Structure formats: C-alpha cells, structure tokens
Amino acid sequence: MRALGRGDEIGHSESPSDSDTSHSELANDEVVVSNTSHSELAADDVTLPGDVSRSELVSDHLNDLLTPMRVHPEHQDMDVDHDEGCDLYHDASSDISVVSSNTRSQVNDVLWQYEEGDYGGYDVEMDVDHEVAVYNIRNNILTMRDWDNIRAFYLRLKSNMGRVNFNLMRLSFNHKMNIDSLFVIKRRIAILSEFEPKHFDCCLNSCMAYTGKHMALAVCPHCGEDRLAADGTARRQFIYLPLIPRLQAFFQSPDMIQLLSYRTDFVHNPGEIRDVFSAGHYQSMIDKHVVVDGDRLEHKFFSDKRDIAFGLCTDGFLLFGRKRGGPSATPLLIKNYNLPPGIRTHINNLICIGVIPGPKQPKDLGSFMDPFDDECASMARGISCFDSSSQEIFMLHAYQLFQEGDIVAIEKFLGIKGHSSLCPCRSCIMRGIRMSSGSNKVFYIPLTHPMPINPDEVQHKWDPLSLPPRTHDSFATNLHIIAEGRKRTKRYGKDLEKHYGNKEMPALCRVNSFHLGRSLPWEWMHLFAENIIPNMIDLWIGRFKGLDTGVEDYGISGDVWEEIGLETAAATKNIPAAFVRSMGNIAESRATFTAESYAFWFMYLAPYLLSGRLANPYYKHFLDLVHIMKITLQFEITTEQIDELERLIIAWVGDYERFYYQYDNERLSVCLLVIHGLLHIPDDIRFCGPMSTTWSFYMERYCGFLKQGLRSRSQPWRNLDERIKDFACISQLQLKYNLHEELPSMDKREEISSSERVYDEYPMSILRFPCISTFRPDEILQAKIARYVNILIGKPVRQIANKLPVMMPFWGAVRIKEGGDVIRAGTRLRQIRQGRNASFIRYEVVTGAEEMRTVFYGRLEQILECNIPVNDPAFWSHLSGTRLLLASITPCQTFKKDATKTLVTYTQELNTVVVDIQTIQNVVGRIQVHNHWGIIDKSSDVARTIFVEDMNIIDDGLDD
C-alpha cells in the first residue's frame, strides 16, 4: 500500500492488469489518509468553554468516523481491529489508513464544516495545529477517481466542450476509467474546493443590485421593475464570488507563495519607474497607517511581506458580437500585482469576482460592488490565514491600489456625470464649453477656447502644466454642497451636479489605499486604440461628425483610402501571427478591427501606408503621436523621460487643436475628452506606474474567454455565471491541492518538446523539426560556410571547404529561449505551404575596426548543423570536434538602419550570407507599399500584446 500523493500520474500509470489488486480497487472508491494527520488535531492552543479545544472538537468528530476498524476481505494480511460496521482498515507496515467513499464524503463534510467556522455553537479563532492537520489531511484526500474526474472537468472547461460531447467522452473511455456525470463532478469539486458563491437579487434590467442601502427595496427606482416574481423568487440575481477565500487559498500552495514574493523582492531605484511598486502611490503608502471607515489602525500598509496589492477592472461587452445594441454583461476582474508582470494577466491568474448581468449596462455600479467593498474593508483590517510554507497563522492584508476600465465604467464608478457636466474630466476640474449652435449638450475642454467674436475680448487659454486637479476630499465636499442644494429645490440640485460634475458617492471609498482623483489612470487601450485612433482615421477620410477639413488640408481621398485598405489586407500574410491577428481591408471592414488591430495598424503599418498620402505637417503630427504611444509602452521609464513625454504631449495636443479644431466653435466636437486625457498620462505614470501595468487588453481577452461559454441566447448570463464559478472552483483546487502540474495549461514554451533539440553550445537556440539529417549543401552554400569558418580560424577558404562534412542536418525552425520568437527557415517554408511568413529576421553582426554591432534584416533560408571533424585538430584549432549552428540568410538592402528607431524600407535583396545562429535577434514582419517593402520590427523595449492560449504562443502549423 502507498499514500496517493499530488505527484501521482493519474491516467498515465501502468495498466490495471499490471498494478497490484488492492491499489486498483482503491482507485475507484477509496481514499488513503495518513493516520497521523487527524491525530495532530489533538493539540490544544485555544481553549473553549468547558476546557474543550477546537482541535479536540475536530479530532473527536473525525475519530467518530474513522474508528473502530474492520477487515476488508482483500486485505486479510493487514493489522486490523475486528469491529463490525466501520469503513477503515490499517496497514501497519506503512502507517496508512484507507477510508471508503462513504466515510470519505463524511470526512470532507467535517473538514468543510470546521473550515467554515462551524464548531457546534462555539465561537473561536483558528489555531496552528488545527490548520496544519487540516492541510495534511486535505493533501491526501483525493482518490484516483477524483483525479480522473478533475482532469476530465478541467479538459471540458479549457476546450469549451459541451455537455453532449462530454458525455460522449465518458462513454468512449469507460473501459479505461470511470468518469462521473457533470452533476456529480460539480458537486464533488464544490466540496473539495470549499468555495461558496453568494447570490444577491438585482434588477431585471440590471440597473442595480439590492445590496447595502437598497436591500429593503421591492421595486427598482431606476426602471420601476419589480424585484420579485409572483411566486416570491428573485427575477434576476447577481452572483458574487468572494475574494477573501481565494486569497487565502494562495497560501495553501507553496508554488504560489513563491510567486507572490515578487512584491517583497522588488527593488526600487529612485528616478526609475518599472512597475506599480516604484510609482509614487505605492511608495507613499508604505509609510502610512491604514484607515478603514475613518478608524486609524495600528498597522501600516504593506508592513507584512505577505500583504497583497491588487487592482480592479470593469468593462462592459456585448454578448453576441454586435457592433451596437444587444444584451451585454460587465465582468469584475481582479489583477494581483504581487505576481510578476509577465504572468499577472494570464487568465489563470486573474480573479473574476462576478459578472454583472445584462441586458443593459448597470446604472448604479456601486450597488453591485457593495459586497466587494465590505471585503476590502475586512482585508484592510486583516483576515486570519494559514501559511503552508511556514506552517503558521498570520493576518493577511490586501489593498486595492487602482481602478481600471473604459471611460464610461470609470465615470460610473466615481459617480460623476462626465461630458454632460461643466467639469467632464475625472482627473481635473478644468471647465468645459459647449458649441454655440445646435442642441449639443456635451461640454468640451480644449486648452484654447474658440476665437472670440469681439476682437477686444481675450482668448482664454489653460496652462497644461497647471490644470486644477480633482482631490480625494473634493468628492465628499461637492456632494455635501449638492445635497444641501437639493433641499432647496430639485432643479437647483441638478444645476449643482452639472456645475461640479458629481452626482453620487464613488463605489469604493472605505479604505484609504485608494485616491479618488489619481488612482484611476487613463488606460492605454481605451484611450488610444478604441478612441483616438478610430477618430483620427475618421477625420482623415471625412467621416467625423459631418465635418470637412475646414481651412486645413489633412484629408485622404476615397481612392487613396481604398488602396490603403487593399495594402493592409495584403500585408497580413507577411506579418507573423504572434504580432497581430489577421487583419482585413481597413477601408471596407473596419467593424472587424479590434483594439489591438487598430493599435498595430496605427503604430506599425500606417507610417508606411500614409507616407506620401497624408500631407505634411499632418503626417509628421501623426508620427509624433506614434512616438508618444511607444514611449508610454516602455517597460521602464525614467523621471527625465516622463518630463520629456509631458513636453511632447503638450506640443501634440496644441498642434491637434490648431490642425483639426482650428479654434472654431463649430468644430469643438473634435476636442474629445480622450484628447484631453493625454495631458494626464505623465502624472498617471508618476503616480501609478508604466501604462503597460494598468492597460486592460487582458479584459478584452477575458471577455472573449467568457463568450466561449455561451450556450443559450435566452439565458446567456446563467452560462456566464456557471463558467466563472467552475473556473473559480478549479482554481481553488489547483491552489489547495497544488495541482498546477497535474492540470497543465498551454504554457510549454520554456519546456523542450519531443520535436525540439537544444545543444549545450547553443543554450538559447532551440531547434525544431522537421529535420533533414542527410542534407548535403551544394558547392555554393559550402563555399559560403567556408568563408564564415575562415573568419574563425584564418585557414584558406578552399581548404576549409574540402574538409567540411559532406552532410549537415537541416532544421526547419528555431525558437529563441526565454520567451523569444519562433522563426521558420524560408526555404523549408516555401517547400511546405504558403502560410503567414515568419522567416524574415533581424540579425546583428560585429563589424568595423571599432567592433560595433550593426543591424541587418533578411530572410532566414536554412538552419544548418555543422559538426566539425575531430581527426585534424591542427587544422581546425579550437573548433575541432565542436558543433556550429549556422544560419543561411538572404539580406535585405536596408543600409544598416534600425527599424525600431526609424522607418526602414528596401527594394532589393543581396547575396546570401552564412552567420552563426546566435546573431539572430528576433522575427520581423513586412508590408509592401507600391514597389518597396517596409520592415516591421517590434523588438524595442515596449509592452505588446501577443496572441496565445494562456498568454503563450500556440504553434498552429502556419507560422510561429
């Protein structure tokens, strides 16, 4: 007999016929439990009334289930107590007890009961011995059947398998394993995960949730819909997934505890901002005391190395892919800043605490966040948590640093009126103005007001370096003034709302970890990709709110725009799939463009496509914006660079107003709030960190993940609720039972697969199949290889060519380690199929007397493995018996220009060269415009999205 551990390979072990009988039968309906586990509960650190410890309560309850013992017929040789009616037997040689499925279920119920704090009427706090014992029992409670069920359920979730297909899979493999029904599996997983969602009534139209001050309402005050149906049940409910037990579960997993140490290990260098932990907000918090509901607590922020920092993101999305209208939903997504930046936005590491149902966007967002607000207050005060690595109980604190989301969601969160008020900005109280004609009720906030009709009147200008900020305390002050105004007349209260821009208290304001004026940074994706870029395109092609070009000449004709669209569509096949999804004709199918598509097109394709087509100075103005966007995406940025960024943005906004707004009152509509939002980016970076740490591309991807679970058009929100609950339970299982290896993701890039090869001499270059081991280079290629080797050993080229091996294995692709690109050999790619081209590369070679690294671009033709002979060490010198990995490359005539710093084009290719494979830096894309090609190099130190499963590239066979 042996204890079933977490590392057992269920489903990959020997066949039942090869395993021992007892173990085979155990796999179906029994569990192995260490005898010492439940006995450890006897320690008494906490005394209950009547001198009864909590540990003794648990121990007694378990002992009632686990004693006395009886003999199982197939285990007659074991040391057994012969009392009838019990479900436990003992193996004296291994100190292991085996419990039947009936008793196992009761054991689980006991553990769950005590974990939930039910001690038969006693009110006590957790003690270390109890937690250690429960931890030890839990880690040995899973049966072989549990493993099969969990694996099957995980496969169903990850592959988006429907119920019918899941049942078909069960039947197809029932001769190998017994997989329970979905109902049984879900019930079992719920028990094992010890996770219980909470249900709150909400409006049928999702206007609000009946929480907090709305708890006693029977009718929605916004739409008038009844809360309950005729039978007394709620007409719609919001399912909230508590955050606290999920944070507590982190500390059940030693692997996760190690990952969470990123915050503690982070080293802040003054004058440099690399993450949220080097920005002003976090740095100012670490010396402050925590305040909850006005009470100043004894501890300071992040005084314990295990304290957690997190952000909340909200963003509505349409369920069925419509451009406008249709049912929607709004996820509430937690991002854990304690995790390293490279993994914190992986779907498995994001924490969804609920999805606000549709069919419409919520009118009272704060009511849905009320349960989360309560948890934030509790986490700030501290919650008891067991640390499995140190085997101790500590007070866990977690604090929200930032709120992310689209512009509308942020305005609802803050309770402000946005562009319908005199102060439309969420970051400052700069006064807006309206257009003088028409019924437009929107307030715009240009830096320079329109030219006055009266020549004696001074044209008003705002100083962009001295915009009046919204302060944290101004929200409460303004709302108090508005409340007093409402006492006079309702109309007067409305006028005050329009004047100050406030209408209700922000959703989360009980803990002082959150600054209402500065903890809501302008988010990169919504600012640039979803607003500024589409609006700039509309301005150029004459489709922006019916405006013409006025006194300027920035327009692009319809014929030219159609040509740009065709070139955009044609470019996709020459751009690696890791760069961007397939893009269509931007002139005809803009509806298919996502935020990522717009960003990629604008930053990398448009500089080539618009050259010579968008007149100067507008083209230069456009390039200045691209430069600004790239600066904002830097992983690391210094205070000097932020100051320079601020100068660039101020100049760009000034030119924008001059070119497009033209200080004309009738053109105020081009002075959108997002243009003004650019002015706040430098301060957001100083306070919150690099924009890549607070952008919400991960939310867009998570919404797509939720859409995959939709099965019903009449009850789509029930599908979404089931999806997030199932993944929450699986996540809890992974943490509590340390199942990360047993439930694998697609993250295999750093592992060496069976179709890959890596040599000690080239640890960063992972060769990939196909491989032609009998490849014979022709004379021309052999001569080029000899010229390269000549540089290394100085021997005559002809002699080297004659002594080189006749056969050199030819590999089809190479993968650069540590998250680098996958590059295919162009010669092999052309022989196999026409897919998206991932054979063009950037490579760097040391040239000149000063040995400067020079940048080249070209097509990787072949990857050759050259094994230098060992029989002539006098000739081969230090290369004797070594292995060379060589790249045959057809260079592009780019005149040594760097495409990360300037636009690089070429019209001709040069003769093929052979270099060491380590000179290859990364894969690049290309775009053809007329008769020349432009190089797309994304290797600069800026954040970028990649299109992968679990944030990791999938090899789809077309390119890597």
Mean pLDDT in residue range 946-959:
34
Q: Nearest Cα to 349, choosing from 357, 358, 359, 338?
A: 338
Q: What is the CA radius of gyration of the chain?
A: 32
What is the model's pLDDT at position 36?
A: 38
Specify whether the CB–CB gap between 342 and 725 falls below 8 A. no
pLDDT at 81 over 50: no
What is the model's pLDDT at position 270?
A: 93
pLDDT at 363 over 70: yes
Cβ atoms within 10 Å, residue 830: 13
Mean pLDDT in residue range 939-958:
44
Mean pLDDT in residue range 502-511:
89
pLDDT at 767 over 90: yes
Going by pLDDT thresholds of 50, 70 and 90, the confidence category of residue 750 is low
Specify whether the CB–CB gap between 401 and 309 falls below 8 A. yes
Measure Cα distances from 676 to 267, 472, 679 in Å.
Answer: 34, 21, 6
What is the model's pLDDT at position 246?
A: 95
For Cα atoms 338, 922, 571, give the angle at the middle one, nearest 5 degrees.
105
Going by pLDDT thresholds of 50, 70 and 90, the confidence category of residue 953 is very low
Cβ atoms within 10 Å, residue 450: 21
Going by pLDDT thresholds of 50, 70 and 90, the confidence category of residue 96 is very low
Mean pLDDT in residue range 140-149:
83
Q: Nearest Cα to 277, choosing from 314, 307, 243, 312?
A: 307
Going by pLDDT thresholds of 50, 70 and 90, the confidence category of residue 675 is very high
Q: Nearest Cα to 266, choosing from 277, 257, 253?
A: 277
Q: Which residues contact 491 (CB under 8 A, 6 or more apart)?
A: none
Q: Nearest Cα to 115, choosing from 395, 384, 388?
A: 384
Mean pLDDT in residue range 374-386:
95
Among 97-111, 118-132, 342-356, 900-914, which is the least confidently predicted range?
97-111
pLDDT at 85 over 60: no
Q: In 601-741, where does DSSP find H-type helix? A: 606-609, 618-632, 639-656, 673-677, 681-688, 697-707, 716-736
- How far is the C-alpha of 291 from the C-alpha of 377, rounded, in Å? 9
What is the model's pLDDT at position 438?
A: 65
Percent of residues, the chain, with pLDDT higher than 70: 81
- How far is the C-alpha of 580 from the C-alpha of 245, rounded, in Å? 37
800-822: pLDDT as tens digits: 999 999 999 999 999 998 778 89
Helix (H) or strand (E) holding 319: none
What is the model's pLDDT at position 324?
A: 63
Q: Which residues contact 950 (CB under 8 A, 6 or more apart)?
A: 346, 347, 348, 745, 746, 747
Question: Domain residue spans in the chain?
Answer: 130-193, 198-415+697-737, 756-936
Query: φ and ψ at 515, to 5 degrees?
Result: -100, 115
Going by pLDDT thresholds of 50, 70 and 90, the confidence category of residue 847 is confident
What is the model's pLDDT at position 119?
A: 40
Residue corresponding to tokens 């692009």: 556
What is the model's pLDDT at position 737?
A: 86
- How far is the C-alpha of 675 from the C-alpha of 668, rounded, in Å? 12
Going by pLDDT thresholds of 50, 70 and 90, the confidence category of residue 841 is very high
Q: Nearest Cα to 671, choosing from 683, 658, 689?
A: 658
Residue corresponding to tokens 């037997």: 89
3-state secondary structure 415-481: CECHHHCCCCCCCECCCCECCCCCCCCCCECCCECCCCCCCCCCCCECCCCCCCECCCCHHHHHHHH
- How far is the C-alpha of 592 from the C-alpha of 583, rounded, in Å? 8
Mean pLDDT in residue range 684-712:
90
What is the model's pLDDT at position 75?
A: 38
Mean pLDDT in residue range 610-617:
95
pLDDT at 175 over 60: yes
What is the model's pLDDT at position 176?
A: 84
Q: Which of 376-385, 457-466, 589-598 has the highest mean pLDDT?
A: 376-385
- How far is the C-alpha of 666 from the C-alpha of 553, rounded, in Å? 18
Pairing mode of beta strands 932-936, 920-923: unpaired
Among 93-107, 388-402, 445-459, 652-666, which is the least confidently predicted range?
93-107
pLDDT at 297 over 60: yes
Q: How far apart are the first and last CA of the chain?
A: 47
Going by pLDDT thresholds of 50, 70 and 90, the confidence category of residue 453 is confident
What is the model's pLDDT at position 507?
A: 87
Considering the entire predicted model, what is its pTM? 0.83
Among 114-123, 133-142, 712-721, which is the least confidently predicted range?
114-123
Going by pLDDT thresholds of 50, 70 and 90, the confidence category of residue 695 is confident
pLDDT at 92 over 60: no
What is the model's pLDDT at position 708?
A: 87
Q: At what angle do helices 716-736 and 697-707 cross, to 10 degrees?
A: 110
- Quote the mean pLDDT of the chain: 83
- The structure tokens listed for 350 are 């994001």
268-285: pLDDT as tens digits: 999 999 999 999 999 999
3-state SS, residue 291: strand
Mean pLDDT in residue range 826-834:
59
Greater pLDDT, 4 or 306? 306
- How far is the C-alpha of 836 from the C-alpha of 575, rounded, in Å? 6
